[in-house]
Amino acid sequence: MHFTSEQRLDDGVLEREFTLGEIPGTLWTPESAAPAPLILMAHNNGLRRREPRLVARARRTAACGYAVATIDAAGCGDRPRSAGDERARADLRRAMRAGEPVDEIFESFIGPLVEKAVPEWRTALDALLSLPGIGGPVGYSGWTALGIRLAVAEPRIAAAGLFAGGYVPRAQREEARQVTVPLLLLLQWDDEGNPRQRALDLFDAFGTKEKTLHANLGGHTGTPWFELDDTNGFFGRHLR
Amino acid sequence: MHFTSEQRLDDGVLEREFTLGEIPGTLWTPESAAPAPLILMAHNNGLRRREPRLVARARRTAACGYAVATIDAAGCGDRPRSAGDERARADLRRAMRAGEPVDEIFESFIGPLVEKAVPEWRTALDALLSLPGIGGPVGYSGWTALGIRLAVAEPRIAAAGLFAGGYVPRAQREEARQVTVPLLLLLQWDDEGNPRQRALDLFDAFGTKEKTLHANLGGHTGTPWFELDDTNGFFGRHLR
C-alpha cells in the first residue's frame, strides 16, 4: 500500500489517498491513540469513491472514532470500463429514456461488477488490517450487493449497514439468506428507481437473526443525516 | 394532582404515583435542574400502566433527562370496565381460541377505548405542564391508536414514537393522514397478532413529511433494547 497524499481535516481526521497495485483508494483515520475498528465503505453500484456524499459520510464516521476506507474496484468509479460495460450503460440510458424495463440490463453488468470487485476489496482489507492503528472487527457500509457478497465470502466482516437503493443481482438476492452477521438496512420509501417491495423482500430474506430496517420518506439520495448517527450506534454495538 | 407516593431510584430518577380526580398515574422525573421535556407514555390497547416493560422503558427514558408520565385512562389498566367491555374481551378470547377473525371485536372495544382515553390524557397533560421542572414541547410514546388521536387533537404534541403492535381502529387509520408531527414507528417483523402489511400501510398513510420506520425481527414483545436509544435520539432531535 502506497500513500500518495494526505490532509488533516478540521476535526483531526487524517484523509489519505493510496494505491494498492492498480487499486486506488482513500483512508480516513481518527485522531486517537487506540486502534480503531475498520469500516469498508462503498457506493451503490460502484459509483466513484470521490462522490461528495460518500466522502462526507466517511469523514463524519471517522470523526466518531472509526477507520474508514474505500476503493475504486475494477470497473468501478474512475477505473477503466470494458467495451461490454460501456455498451450496457449506453443500453441502460436508452432503456430508461424510453421507459423500458431495465432489470436485465442491470443484471448484465452489475452482476459481473460485484464479482470483480470482491477480490479487490479483500486485497484492500488485508493491506488495511496490517497498518498500525487499525484493528478488527470490520464493518461494511453502503452498496448492498457488494455487502452481501462480502458478508458471505469474508469472515472478517462482523456487521453491515446496507443502502437498499441499488440494483441487487439475482445471485446476491439468493445468497442473502446466507448472511448471518448483524445488519442494518436503510430504505428510502419513495426511491423512484428501486421498487419498495423488492427491498422489503430482501430484508425478509436475510438469514441473520439480528437485522433492522430503517425506512425514511423521500427519494434515492434523501437519506436523512440522523441515520448516520443511528448507523454509528449500530456499528458501536457490534464493532466495539 | 395529588401525589400519593414517591421513591428515588438508583440513577436519581424520582418516581411518583399520583391521582388526578379519578385518574391514577405515575410520573418519572430526572435529577436535573433545568425543566425537562415531557413524554407521555402509554401501553398498546390500554394495558395497565404498571406493566414491567412500560415501567422499565419509562425509567430509562427519564434517566436520559425526560419527564415521563403515564396514566390508566378510563377503561384502561386497573380502571373499572363496562359490562360491554367485559363482554367484548370474553368474545375476543373465545374467537382467538377458535382461530376466528377478531378485527370486528377489536374495533368494537378499542375504538371507544381510544375515544374515552383522549380527554383524560389531555387533562393529565394540563396538570403535568403546570408542575415545576416540567417544560414543553411534549412527546408521545407507545400505543399507536391513542398516539394518532392525540397527535391530531392535541397541538402540544410535537413528536410521537409509536409501536405498530396493537389494533388500530378504522377511525385512527383514517385520521393517520392528518398527523403532521415527526414520527418514529416501531414494527416487530414477526408479530403474530398484527399483520405486517397493515403496519406498512399505516406508515405509508401518515401525513407527516418526517416519518421513520424501524423494523426488527421477532414477535410482539421482542423490540430490542437498542431501539430505546434510537427513540431517545429521535426525541432529542424534536424536543430539545
Name residues of chain B where pLDDT drops below 70.
none
Q: Which of residues 36-95 of B touch A (CB under 8 A)?
A: none
Q: What is the ipTM of this complex?
A: 0.92
Tell me what pLDDT residue B134 has: 94
A160-178 mean pLDDT: 96
Above 80 in pLDDT, residue A33? Answer: no
CA dist A211 and A202 (Å) reads 11
Separation in Å, CA A226 to CA A216, A223, B39, B108: 11, 8, 21, 40
CA dist A68 and A133 (Å) reads 12
pTM of structure: 0.94
- Considering CB atoms only, which of B203, B213, B233 is closest to A229? B233
A208: closest chain B residue by CA = B217
Tell me what pLDDT residue A210 has: 96
Tell me what pLDDT residue B34 has: 85
Q: How far is A232 from chain B (nearest CA, A)?
A: 11
Quick check: B240 contacting A, CB < 8 Å? no
Residue B137: cis peptide before it, omega within 30 degrees of 0: yes
Which grid cell is B96? 382467538
Q: Are the C-beta atoms of A136 and A129 separated by less than 8 Å?
A: yes
Neighbours of B4 (CB within 10 A): 10
Tell me what pLDDT residue A46 has: 87
Taking only the tens place, the pLDDT of each residue in A76-107 is 988 998 898 899 989 999 999 999 999 999 99
Taking only the tens place, the pLDDT of each residue in A187-211 is 999 998 888 999 999 999 999 999 9
Among A164, A110, A117, CA closest to A142: A164
Quick check: B31 contacting A, CB < 8 Å? no
Which of the listed CATH numbers 3.40.50.2000, 3.40.50.1820, 3.40.50.2300, 3.30.1330.20 matches domain B2-78+115-239?
3.40.50.1820
Say what the alpha-carbon torsion angle B208, B39, A227, A189 is, to the nearest 10 degrees: -30
A237: closest chain B residue by CA = B226
Is A2-81+117-239 CATH 3.40.309.10?
no
Residue the block writes with cell 430490542: B224
Q: How many residues does chain B have?
A: 240
CB pair distance less than 8 Å for A203 and B215: yes
CB pair distance less than 8 Å for B213 and A214: yes
Q: Are the C-beta atoms of A69 and A124 separated by less than 8 Å?
A: yes
Who's near B153: CB < 8 A, 6+ residues apart? B118, B122
Tell me what pLDDT residue B214 has: 98
